[in-house]
Amino acid sequence: MAIEQQFLEYSAGKLEELAKRIEICLSSLDDERVWARGGSNENAIGNLVLHLCGNLRQWIVSGVGGAEDSRQRDTEFAARGGATSVELAEKLRATVAETVQTIREVPIERLSDRLVIQGYRVSKFEAIYHVVEHFSMHTGQIIFATKLLTTADLGFYRHLEAAP
C-alpha cells in the first residue's frame, strides 16, 4: 500500500477510535454533566462535541469533499444545552462516518490540491492532518473532563497493565 493510502487509512481509523472514546465518555455522564462548566470561559463537553462535528464537516466533508459549508461556529460554543448525551453521541457518530468516508475516497494524486478553509490556504493532506490533530486534542479534553466529573478510570489503557 502506498504511503499516501496508509496516511488516509490511518487518519480515518484514528478518527473512528477517538470518536469511540468520546462516546464512552458521553455514556458515562448524565445530561447535566455533559453541559457542566466551571466558568463562563470554559466549554462544556457538549460544546466540544458540537465543535468537533462542525470542524469535521467544514474541513473534511465540505473542504476536502466539496459539500456545501453551512457551519455556524459560534453556535457550537454558545449552546448551553439542548442536546442529550445520546443525541450528541449520535450526531458525532454520523459526522465521523461521513468524514471517514470522505477521507477514504480522496484519490491519493489529489492530496496536494490546494483549498481555502476558514481563510487558511492548505492542501487536502494538510486539512486531513489538521483535523485528526484537532480531534485528538479535544478528545483529550473530553476524557480529562469526564474523569474529573466521574472520578472513574475509563479503562482505555488497561491492556497495558502488567498481569498479576
Query: For position 17, what pLDDT does the model report?
Result: 98
| pTM for this model (two decimals) | 0.94
Going by DSSP bridges, is the β-strand pair 120-123/114-117 parallel, antiparallel, or unpaired? antiparallel
What backbone phi and psi angles, to 5 degrees, belong to 61?
Answer: -60, -45
Average pLDDT, the chain: 95
The 10s digit of each residue's pLDDT in 86-142 is: 999 999 999 999 999 999 999 999 999 999 999 999 999 999 999 999 999 999 999
DSSP code at position 162:
P
Spatial contact of 23 and 96, defined as CB atoms under 8 Å apart = no
- pLDDT higher than 80, residue 18: yes
The per-residue pLDDT for 163 is: 67
Q: Calculate the dihedral angle through the C-alpha atoms of 30, 89, 8, 69, rounding to the nearest 10 degrees.
A: -120
Residues 46-91 have pLDDT tens digits of 999 999 999 999 999 999 999 999 999 989 998 999 999 999 999 9
Burial of 149 (0-12, 13-18, 19+ CB in 10 A): middle
* Residue 106, pLDDT score: 98
pLDDT of residue 41: 87
Asked if pLDDT for residue 159 goes beyond 90, the answer is no
Q: Which CATH number fits domain 3-160: 3.40.50.1010, 3.40.50.300, 1.10.10.10, 1.20.120.450?
A: 1.20.120.450
Whether 66 contacts 106, CB under 8 Å: no
For residues 75-89, b (16+ Cβ closer than 10 Å) or e, as one string?
Answer: ebeebeeebebeebb
DSSP bridge partners of 117? 120
